[in-house]
């Protein structure tokens, strides 16, 4: 019988401390898998309120994948025109590609966001009033 040695590997989103990433207006992220798990990737749940955005930015070394669960957004990659994206959309962003995400509609955007390798240190802000 197991003594619960692996229990810490199972969590609910509500048990994870949320944060606000830099340059992301109206966004709260939950780091579902951090670099300590395997060192190869990081996975976040991003929730962006209507009218929120990830301002244009790029990642020097990280590949980013966005999988939209709920809501809609206009996604801009490089100089290409915006593409309207909804549930089931996979967005692949190589390193050094300027990108932005702008929510559309009146419901929050919920997306899984993966980075490989995991993101380096940055100015994340804690979400006040949560536990």
Over residues 60-86, the mean pLDDT reads: 98
Residue 84: Cβ within 10 Å count: 11
Q: How confident is the model at residue 4 (pLDDT cuts 50, 70, 90)?
A: confident
CA gap 120, 48 in Å, rounded: 22
pLDDT in tens, 96-122: 999 999 999 999 999 999 999 999 888
φ, ψ (nearest 5 deg) of residue 104? -130, 160
Tokens in use for 13? 């989103």
- Percentage above 90 pLDDT, the chain: 85
pLDDT in tens, 116-125: 999 988 888 8
pLDDT in tens, 17-68: 999 999 999 999 999 999 999 999 999 999 999 999 999 999 999 999 999 9
Tokens in use for 127? 């979400």
Residue 13 has pLDDT above 80, yes or no: yes
CA gap 36, 9 in Å, rounded: 12
- Residue 2: per-residue pLDDT: 66
Query: Model-level pTM greater than 0.95?
Result: no
- Residue 129: per-residue pLDDT: 59
- Residue 50: per-residue pLDDT: 97
Over residues 71-84, the mean pLDDT reads: 98
């Amino acid at each position: 019988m197991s003594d619960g040695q692996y229990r810490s590997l199972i969590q609910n989103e509500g048990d994870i401390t949320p944060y606000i990433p830099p340059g992301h207006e109206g966004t709260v992220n939950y780091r579902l898998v951090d670099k300590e798990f395997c060192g190869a990737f990081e996975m976040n749940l991003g929730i962006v309120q209507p009218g929120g955005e990830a301002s244009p930015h790029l990642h020097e070394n990280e590949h980013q994948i966005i999988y939209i669960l709920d809501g809609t957004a206009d996604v801009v990659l490089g100089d290409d025109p915006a593409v309207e994206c909804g549930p089931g959309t996979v967005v692949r962003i190589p390193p050094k590609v300027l990108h932005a995400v702008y929510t559309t509609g009146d419901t929050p955007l919920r997306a899984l966001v993966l980075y490989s390798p995991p993101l380096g240190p940055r100015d994340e802000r804690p979400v006040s009033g949560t536990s």
